[in-house]
């Protein structure tokens, strides 16, 4: 079901500062910057590598307001790894298969994610404390 690690989502207070850190420390390149109002974030995708099943990224996330998923996370836990995003071929099918195993879904249906992807989250309580995102990359 899982094709690759699509991205690791990292919560931060200052997106521009963290982008510069990842660029200068690791030589990563920003390939996309977006504001996603629905998810309550300002975010950047930094390309790490390509693989036969698709690319992998670091996703840097700054909250738009304190009362958002990432804003609450920062207040409670501080900066750090917020979620893991796995690539899947068909996010709707994957959600159905995972729900059938009794795992709690945050999203019953896919939402709009970075770079035109369809995304959906699984609840961390049913995934050993890991907020898990499924990502179906946009077709070109």
Taking the least distance from each CB to ligand CMX, the nearer of 70 and 95 is 70
Give min distance, CB of 33 to ligand CMX, in A: 13
Binding site for ligand CMX (CB under 6 A): 9, 36, 39, 41, 59, 61, 69-70, 72-73, 76, 82-83, 106, 113-114, 121, 124, 129, 131, 133
Give min distance, CB of 46 to ligand CMX, in A: 14
Residues 6+ apart with CB under 8 A from 120: 91, 94, 95, 105, 106, 107, 109, 110, 111, 133, 134
User: Among the candidate windows 2-10, 67-75, 99-107, 123-131, which touches Co ion by CB under 5 A?
Assistant: 2-10
Q: Which position among 63, 71, 85, 110 is part of the footprint of Co ion (CB under 5 A)?
A: 85
Distances (CA, A) of 49 to 27, 33, 61, 73, 83: 12, 18, 20, 28, 19
- The catalytic position among 39, 62, 83, 136 is 83
Q: DSSP assignment of 79-125, as one string? A: SEEEEEEEE-S-HHHHHHHHHTTTPPBS-SS-EE-GGG-EEEEE-GG
112 assigned to active site: no
Catalytically active residues, by annotation: 7, 43, 59, 83, 133
Residues that bind Co ion (CB under 5 A): 9, 59, 85, 133
């Amino acid at each position: 079901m899982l094709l690759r690690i699509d991205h690791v989502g990292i919560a931060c207070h200052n997106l521009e500062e963290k982008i510069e850190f990842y660029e200068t420390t690791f030589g990563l390149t920003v390939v996309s910057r977006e504001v996603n109002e629905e998810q309550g974030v300002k975010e950047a995708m930094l390309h790490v590598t390509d693989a036969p099943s698709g690319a992998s990224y670091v996703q840097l996330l700054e909250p738009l307001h304190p009362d958002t998923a990432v804003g609450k996370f920062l207040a409670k836990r501080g900066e750090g790894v917020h979620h893991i995003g796995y690539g899947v071929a068909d996010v709707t099918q994957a959600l159905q298969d995972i729900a059938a195993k009794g795992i709690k879904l945050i999203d019953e249906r896919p939402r709009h994610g970075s770079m035109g992807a369809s995304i959906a989250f699984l609840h961390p309580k049913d995934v050993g404390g890991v907020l898990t995102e499924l990502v179906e990359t946009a077709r070109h």
